[in-house]
Chain A
Amino acid sequence: MNIHLKAAWRNIFRNKRRTFITGTAIALGLAALIFTDALVKGTTDSMINIATGSFSGQGQIHAAGFRETQEASRVIVGSDAVLARMAGDARIKAFTPRTLSFAMASSASEVSPALMIGVAPDSERKFSKIGEAVAEGNFFEAGARGANPQDIVIGAKLAETLQARLGDRLVLTAAQAGTDELAQEMFRVSGIFRFGMDEMDGGMVFVRLAKAQEMLNLNNGIHQIALTLTDSKAASNEADPLWKDYSHEGNEAVGWPVLFPQLKVVSSLAGFATAIIGVLLFGIIALGIINTLFMSVYERMFEFGVLRAVGTRPGGLRRLVVYEAGALGLLSCGLGIVLGFVVTFIICKTGLDYRGIEYMGLAFKDLLYPIMTVGQFIIYPIAVFIFTVLVGLYPAGYASKMSITKAMRRTL
């Protein structure tokens, strides 16, 4: 081993307490960075899952312009063919057709606006979690007399507003496609769901697809096909060919980043937050390293003077101090990786309980689990190590530039 490397490695153990304190500070910084990144990834992933897995799907197909105008007449072009094609497409894991229309819901005593969604109960039950969220009654289950086309499932908050209970009658009023004539239909509350999101619980009602199509005068037209993909990563890729494949003949297929731009912002904000935390942690680490190395350099002024006197070039001395920074970094990174792994692993097992907390319109329904990746244990330690070495250049430069005779006169 190079004699300067050997000396550097042994030098960091000359003052074990100082090395321990600085090393632990660096290690804690690294562990915090790993954990923060895992937590941010977990949070972002969880939010995306809530947004896409609960109801909306990872992607959706609409008629072009429907998302912007919500006009009932803008139905998916050739929906039967599209649905048939999707059924045979291996890239698509699941899908369900829907109609969407704003309506006025009236009970015996109250009136409230609502989004009326026509669903195919069987595929919807498999596709979204709306069926699981039903707190009272059921989600379009056939009764003794078969399926009742007048069944309606409403959100708990809307039920409160309308003072409606299970079995009560509700009248929906909506504008028909093409004519804008108002259509009215009476339904009976067969289910009340509680999703935990105000927007859904307070403003959505579900009716059978056929009934919605009839009421809106759509024939067999549909407004939306929600879908999930076999490769969930493709959903976040706006350039994935799948979106192009289904965006033709007046239809548009888009993934969740387009449907929920706020989630994309959350994702990039999370990355920014990690970067800010990283910068702060690196700043603290830098001060710790500079302090430790300067103390070490000052304590060994005479020794450095001797090394220079016997013929060590300034560069040799610089290398020695940088190697010491590297040795400190190596030791700290090792400790930081272990600490980071242990803490993150434990939280990955136990999860964090943020259930019921709503953030950006999304409510956490399950425990929050950080996501560990191999990259966190490679990229961050390498970054911390390189940073430690770079920071070491400052005291190293100082040590290499000092006057030999002054160094040999100085004692602490």
Chain B
Amino acid sequence: MEDKNVKLIVTENLRKTYIDNGMSVEALRGIDLTIHAGEFTAIVGPSGSGKTTLLNMISGLDRPTEGKVWLKDKLLSDMSGRELSDFRRDHIGFIFQAYNLIPVLTVIENVEYIMVLQKLVREERRRRVTDILDQLGMAGYGNRFPTRLSGGQQQRVAIARAMVSHPLMILADEPTANLDSKTGADLLTMMKQLNDRTGMAFIFSTHDPMIVERARRVIVIRDGLIHSDEDREGERIYRATSA
């Protein structure tokens, strides 16, 4: 388990400007943020506030227009595309709103995909897949294709895929948006337990009040700026709610 004082993500004056239909749109207008190991953080805000853009920046999926991002002490702008791919593969797990499993791969193959990229031996891969599917209540579904699973089951597989390679953090973009409230609540409980047990940081971009309610830290973003940053457990002081 990673030391909770380790800074996983540090951003400094993070800005991102898009050109949309010839118009310049400032999605992020200067974000300074630090996320530590083991956090269970919700980034909330209205649509278009910059939540997903922020997740893209801190995961290295996109590059900022201005400012800096450190991923575990490595400056993002110093990393090549290939290094970023490897960094994401080894240290970041992704959970998407629409699950986004590979439809032509079975549950087992989907879950072990990242470990295949990591070139782990087959026995180790299968051991980890079996363990994680078991933990997530998906044992017995290993040879099914995603299209033959319910939304909740697919999202469990997506969680398994994100976690199986033991990343430092899981980035989840609206993970409960396509699920009914009970399934969403169950999955959230499961993720919280995994967070407590493994020490993996969970960072959600969400509108879901249920996630906000359970998150230890809630960052509110509005118009590309951090509006508030609250640590529910009072371990750290981030920023008071701005006017």
Contact (Cβ within 8 A) A7 B102: yes
Contact (Cβ within 8 A) B105 A3: yes
Q: Which of A10, A307, A313, A405 contacts B62 (CB 8 A)?
A: A405
Contact (Cβ within 8 A) A3 B116: yes
Give the interface centre of B105, B112, B113, B114 by most chain A CB atoms within 10 Å. B113
Contact (Cβ within 8 A) A311 B59: no
Q: Which of A7, A11, A312, A405 contacts B85 (CB 8 A)?
A: A312
Contact (Cβ within 8 A) A302 B61: no
CB distance from B145 to the nearest CB of A (A): 9
Contact (Cβ within 8 A) B109 A303: no
What mask results when residues 296 to 331 of chain A are scored 1 for a CB within 8 Å of chain B, else 0?
A: 000000110011111111101000000000000000
Contact (Cβ within 8 A) A14 B94: no
Alpha-carbon distance A307/B112, docked complex (angstroms):
13
Q: Does A92 count as interface, using CB distance less than 8 angstroms?
A: no
Q: Which of B61, B90, B102, B103 contacts A307 (CB 8 A)?
A: B102
CB distance from A52 to the nearest CB of B (A): 58
Q: Does A404 count as interface, using CB distance less than 8 angstroms?
A: yes
Give the interface centre of A11, A302, A309, A405 by most chain B CB atoms within 10 Å. A309
Alpha-carbon distance A56/B186, docked complex (angstroms):
92
Alpha-carbon distance A314/B80, docked complex (angstroms):
12
The residue in chain B whose Cβ has the minimal distance to the Cβ of A404 is B61
Interface magnitude class on chain B: 20 to 34
Contact (Cβ within 8 A) B94 A7: no
Alpha-carbon distance A404/B62, docked complex (angstroms):
7
Q: Which of B81, B88, B90, B116 contacts A309 (CB 8 A)?
A: B88
Chain B residues with CB under 8 Å of A6's CB are 104-105, 109
Contact (Cβ within 8 A) B56 A405: yes
Alpha-carbon distance A396/B59, docked complex (angstroms):
25
Chain A residues with CB under 8 Å of B102's CB are 7, 303, 306-307
Alpha-carbon distance A306/B81, docked complex (angstroms):
15
B residues 89-144 touching A (CB-CB < 8 Å)? 89-90, 94, 96, 100, 102-105, 109, 112-114, 116-117
Q: Does B182 count as interface, using CB distance less than 8 angstroms?
A: no
The residue in chain A whose Cβ has the minimal distance to the Cβ of B18 is A405
Alpha-carbon distance A305/B226, docked complex (angstroms):
27
CB-CB under 8 A for A311 and B117, given A7-B105, A14-B104, A306-B100: yes
A residues 265-310 touching B (CB-CB < 8 Å)? 302-303, 306-310
B residues 7-37 touching A (CB-CB < 8 Å)? none
Could you tell me which A residues sit within 8 Å of B by CB distance? 3, 6-7, 10-11, 14, 302-303, 306-314, 316, 403-405, 408
> Mind listing 23 A-B residue pairs with CB under 8 Å?
A3-B112, A3-B113, A3-B116, A6-B109, A7-B104, A14-B103, A303-B100, A303-B102, A306-B100, A307-B102, A309-B59, A309-B61, A310-B89, A310-B113, A311-B89, A311-B90, A312-B85, A313-B85, A314-B81, A314-B82, A314-B85, A403-B62, A405-B56
